[in-house]
Amino acid sequence: CRREWIAVDGPAGAGKSSLARALAKALGYRYIDTGATYRAAALAVLQAGVHPGDPASRSRIVDIVRRVRIRLGTDPRVDLPSRVFLDGRDVSTSIRSLEVGQAASTIATIPEVRRVLAELQRRMAEEGPCVMDGRDIGTVVLKEACVKLYVTASLEERARRRAKELQEIEGQVPVSLEEIEEQLAMRDQQDATRQDAPLRAAEDAVTLDTTGQTPGEVLERALAICRECL
Ligand code: C5P
């Protein structure tokens, strides 16, 4: 297996990105947020005026995703949250809305979209040691990673964390906790039941339930697992 790769997967709001970033910082690795690549691609689709869920627009969606240039800031020390560039424009904030998250999950069901973005992610991983987070990193994108973590938390806790994140986004219309919970459950369902690379723990992944745990406690457990495997 490849020691320079750490795969972190799990449902939305489980604390994957905080953990992946903290791990990257502690180990001196780069942090690669693959959700941001799906979100940036989805934003490009929305900005082109194309409906992400319209089956008749599939080939246009694939075409848009093939054409756009997505670049990520990967240094965990300077990027909080990750800087994301779409055709050279900084879209770090606009990709974090509920609408873009939902659109990302919808276009992520299209196999050609997944192929294009997985290739981009793989190229980024080949540039050097990294912690990569997403839904299919341990099962598809970095199958050869030595350390695979599957991060989960209760739906209530994940909704609370998402609500906090959303509050910090300027221009985001306030949404109720119930609405966030509903959106998360819908997204989990869509991510876990899609045909191509559904959300699931890899057979060789270690599951970390972060419900009721502080980020520091989760990091400690993850570092202990890394020490065992690396
Ligand atoms: O992690 P984040 O919430 O930013 O991801 C947005 C959406 O992108 C997810 O709901 C999922 O559908 C999709 N995604 C994916 N595979 C990944 C990362 C994200 O399908 N590796």
ipTM of the complex as predicted: 0.99
Which residues are paired to 90 by β-bridges?
A: 85
Instruction: Check pocket membership of 105 for ligand 1, CB cut-off 6 A.
Output: yes
**pLDDT at residue 208 in the model:** 97
> What pLDDT, in 10s, does the model give residues 106-163?
999 999 999 999 999 999 999 999 999 999 999 999 999 999 999 999 999 999 998 8
User: Going by DSSP bridges, is the β-strand pair 70-72/2-9 parallel, antiparallel, or unpaired?
Assistant: unpaired
CA nearest neighbour of 130 among 72, 79, 74? 74
Per residue in 180-194, is it b (16+ CB within 10 Å) or e — as a string? Answer: bbebbeebbebbeeb
| Residue 49 assigned ligand-binding role | no
Q: For all residues of the chain together, what is the average pLDDT?
A: 94
User: Going by DSSP bridges, is the β-strand pair 89-90/84-86 parallel, antiparallel, or unpaired?
Assistant: antiparallel
Which atom of ligand 1 lies nearest, measured to the CA of 16? Answer: 1
**pLDDT at residue 225 in the model:** 95
Of residues 168 and 114, more confidence is placed in 114
pLDDT band at 166; cut points 50, 70, 90: confident
C-alpha separations of 202 from 7, 30, 99, 119, 141 in Å: 10, 22, 29, 19, 11
CA nearest neighbour of 157 among 135, 184, 136? 184
**pLDDT at residue 81 in the model:** 76
Which atom of ligand 1 lies nearest, measured to the CA of 17? Answer: 1
Are 108 and 38 in contact, with CB atoms under 8 Å apart? yes
**pLDDT at residue 117 in the model:** 98
Number of neighbouring beta carbons within 10 Å of residue 66: 12
Q: Is residue 168 over pLDDT 90?
A: no
> What pLDDT, in 10s, does the model give residues 18-57?
999 999 999 999 999 999 999 999 999 999 999 999 999 9
Give the residue, by CA position, lying nearest to ligand 1 atom 21.
Answer: 134
Give the residue, by CA position, lying nearest to ligand 1 atom 3.
Answer: 12
Give the residue, by CA position, lying nearest to ligand 1 atom 19.
Answer: 35
Percent of the chain with pLDDT over 70: 100
Strand order in the sheet with 30-33: 30-33, 130-134, 2-9, 145-152, 206-209
Q: Is residue 173 over pLDDT 80?
A: no
